Homo-oligomer: A and B are copies of this chain.
Amino acid sequence: MQSLQDKASEWSGVKREDAFAIDEVNLFQKLGLQTFVNLSTKFYNRVYDDDEEWFRSIFGNSKKEDAIQNQYEFFVQRMGGPPLYSQRKGHPALIGRHRPFPVTHRAAERWLHHMQLALDETPDIDADSKDRMIKFFRHTAFFLVAGDEMKNQNLQTQCKHGIQQSAAP
Q: Which residues of B are found within 8 Å of A154, using beta-carbon distances?
A: 99, 151, 155
Contact A90 B155 (CB under 8 A): no
How many chain-A residues does the 8 Å CB contact rule pick out?
A: 36
Contact A23 B83 (CB under 8 A): yes
Query: How far, in angstroms, from A163 to B156 measured CA to CA in the complex?
Result: 11
Q: Knowing A96-B96, A154-B155, say if A20 contacts B139 (CB, 8 Å).
A: no
Q: In the assembly, how many copies of this chain are there?
A: 2
Q: Which residues of B are found within 8 Å of A20, using beta-carbon distances?
A: 83, 86-87, 90
Q: Knowing A16-B90, A17-B87, A23-B83, say if A155 contacts B147 (CB, 8 Å).
A: no
CB < 8 Å neighbour of A96 from B83, B147, B159: B147
CB < 8 Å neighbour of A143 from B23, B83, B91: B91
Q: Knowing A155-B155, A159-B155, say if A19 contacts B90 (CB, 8 Å).
A: yes
Q: Does A117 contact B (CB under 8 A)?
A: no
Q: Does A140 contact B (CB under 8 A)?
A: yes
Q: Does A108 contact B (CB under 8 A)?
A: no
Contact B4 A90 (CB under 8 A): yes
Scan A95-134; emit 1 where CB is below 8 A from any B CB, else 0: 1110100000000000000000000000000000000000
